[in-house]
């Protein structure tokens, strides 16, 4: 889940591209579908006329020429987070003085005041200091043996932690769904005000280990056999089906897109229900770790929502102490997400071996 730094030009044209798609999308889809229908009919006619004396190679060529409509490509785009028009005002206010904020050549999202090869927007995404070229260095003199921020990113090194750089990956969005783009932008702004810069959570999550908490969760286990595998898989799919259709970004947006306590409580109730259903389900030993992982993840969602509710109720969500707690809790949530992904991959390896 690494984001390339060579996206500045794409950054500038993303909004224009999305707007253009909205205007021409319907016309393009209808025309393409109509032309495809005519072409498909011609291919079928040719096939029927030549089926008795056509080679397999020629049949394959006819099929290739049918040019079927790729609905996924027409209706959806895979987008990287860095491509989106996200540049929180709250982050700018944290990093630049009022005079600097008034000067777009200093604080603008495409500016590079420390001349380290990263724009301010990229500094936000990678967690580096926009006014310091060597975020990894603690200077005792003029020399620094570590790479500057731009070089660090090029080498897949986090300028925030010095560890391997990991960042949110691609996610799928409907080409005409401007509402989700607005939701993402608004939620990132709210999160930044509360001390949480979402992209940096992936890097911060590398600095903690919550394995003891995860492994301490008590679950109902049963032996590994074919019937138990089948029953568990069916139950498990029914429990996490709605959740599994979302990704980290969607869930993050859901938590920060509102500051209304009833809506936050409703979101929390969803995760309480998911947690309880998992706790009441017997898991074969093979799936036990992944089973615990989901329960742990649902618990961390509840913890972060509880903290947000507390901050809103007590009006402390803009204090420095709350921001520190908020960042810590959000980092734990991302750690849980990463743990679930790794545990799911381990289960998939088991299943691949079984099939062989």
pLDDT-above-70 percentage for the chain: 71
Among 245, 270, 282, 11, smallest CA distance to 125 is for 11
Backbone φ and ψ for 264, nearest 5 degrees, come out as -65, -40
* Strands 220-222 and 282-284, sheet pairing: parallel
Residue ranges of domains in the chain: 1-206, 208-355
Residue 255 pLDDT level (bands cut at 50, 70, 90): very high
d(CA 232, CA 178): 38
Mean pLDDT of 74-80: 64
Q: How far apart are CA 161 and CA 138, in angstroms?
A: 13
Q: 190-194, 306-310, 332-336, 341-345: which has the minimum mean pLDDT?
A: 341-345
Please give the full DSSP string across 297-355, using - where no structure is assigned: HHHHHHHHHHHHHHHHHHT-TTSHHHHHHHHHHHHHHHHHHHHHHHHHHHHHHHHHHHH
Q: 81-95, 193-207, 236-250, 315-329: lowest mean pLDDT where?
A: 236-250
Q: Which tokens hold the place of 226?
A: 């074919």
Q: What is the pLDDT of residues 262-288, one digit of tens each?
A: 999 999 999 999 999 999 999 999 999
pLDDT tens-digit readout, 43-73: 344 434 444 444 556 545 544 554 544 544 5
Q: What local confidence, expressed as pLDDT, does residue 36 receive?
A: 45
């Amino acid at each position: 889940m690494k984001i390339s730094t060579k996206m500045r030009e794409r950054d500038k044209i993303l909004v224009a591209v999305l707007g253009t798609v909205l205007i021409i999308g319907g016309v393009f889809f209808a025309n393409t579908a109509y032309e495809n229908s005519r072409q498909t009919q011609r291919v079928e006619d040719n096939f029927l006329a030549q089926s008795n004396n056509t080679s397999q190679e020629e049949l394959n060529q006819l099929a290739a020429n049918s040019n079927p409509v790729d609905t996924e490509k027409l209706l959806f785009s895979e987008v990287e987070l860095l491509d989106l028009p996200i540049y929180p005002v709250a982050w700018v206010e944290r990093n630049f003085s009022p005079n600097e904020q008034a000067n777009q050549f200093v604080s603008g999202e495409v500016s590079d005041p420390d001349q380290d090869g990263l724009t301010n927007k990229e500094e936000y995404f990678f967690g580096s200091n926009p006014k310091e070229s060597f975020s990894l260095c603690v200077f005792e003199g003029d020399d620094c043996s570590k790479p500057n921020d731009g070089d660090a990113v090029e080498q897949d090194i986090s300028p925030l932690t010095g560890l391997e750089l990991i960042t949110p990956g691609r996610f799928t969005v409907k080409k005409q769904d401007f509402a989700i783009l607005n939701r993402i932008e608004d939620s990132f702004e709210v999160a930044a005000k509360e001390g949480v810069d979402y992209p940096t959570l992936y890097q911060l999550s590398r600095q903690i280990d919550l394995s003891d908490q995860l492994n301490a969760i008590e679950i109902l286990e049963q032996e590994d056999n074919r019937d138990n595998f089948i029953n568990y898989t069916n139950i498990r799919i029914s429990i996490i089906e709605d959740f599994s259709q979302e990704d980290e970004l969607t869930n993050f947006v859901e938590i920060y897109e509102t500051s209304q306590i009833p809506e936050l409580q409703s979101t929390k109730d969803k995760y309480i229900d998911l947690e309880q259903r998992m706790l009441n389900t017997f898991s074969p030993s093979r799936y036990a770790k992944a089973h615990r992982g989901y329960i742990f993840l649902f618990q961390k969602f509840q913890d972060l929502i509880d903290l947000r509710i507390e901050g809103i109720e007590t009006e402390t969500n803009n204090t420095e102490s709350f921001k520190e707690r908020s960042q810590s809790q959000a980092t734990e949530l991302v750690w849980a997400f990463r743990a679930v992904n790794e545990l799911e991959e381990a289960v998939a390896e088991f299943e691949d071996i079984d099939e062989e």
